Amino acid sequence: MAKVLGVGGVYFRCCDPQETLAWYKVVLGIELNGSGSLDFPHRESVMEHGAGARTVVAPLRGDNRYFSPSSKAFMLNFIVDDLDAMIARIEKAGVPLAGEPVRYAQGRFAWVMDPNGLKIELWEPVEG
């Protein structure tokens, strides 16, 4: 029986794709793959960062304020290995956080806005 195995990609519109890719590389340290896209090998992520590292797709009500201050209809979540070091990297790039970092049962979270007004959630999963 055929079934969906996971999220294969997230695509979004922006005014300047090259500037946006450069921002993700400089501010978040995400390397580009051979085709000039952001690339995340899942198996290695889970192996390196524990069973808590996974892709979540969650529909939220239209009046939900979790995406604020973004007015976009979606947000990206990136798994990070060291949230404190990532926050230091973001601050060094001169980009402000979008709110204070928090800890939930799933791990630690922080947020930043990309140059297109898209909210990026950074997630350091709990061990195991």
pLDDT in tens, 46-79: 556 555 556 666 666 777 787 888 888 888 888 8
69 in Cβ contact with 21 (< 8 Å): no
Provide the 10 A C-beta neighbour count for residue 53.
20
User: What is the domain partition of the chain in residue ranges?
Assistant: 17-57+79-125
CA-based max dimension of the chain: 49
Instruction: Give the type of residue at 71.
Output: S
Global confidence as pTM: 0.76
Q: Which of 51-55, 105-109, 115-119 has the highest mean pLDDT?
A: 115-119
Number of residues in the chain: 128
pLDDT at position 115: 94
48 in Cβ contact with 109 (< 8 Å): no
pLDDT at position 124: 86
CATH level 2 (architecture), domain 17-57+79-125 = Roll (3.10)
> Which residues have a Cβ under 8 Å from the Cβ of 100 and sit 6 or more positions away?
none
Structure tokens at 94: 């001169």
1-38: pLDDT as tens digits: 755 556 666 777 788 888 988 898 899 888 777 767 77
pLDDT reading at 123 higher than 80: yes
Rounded Cα distance between 76 and 120, Å, is: 5
Partners of 36 in beta bridges: none
118 in Cβ contact with 76 (< 8 Å): yes
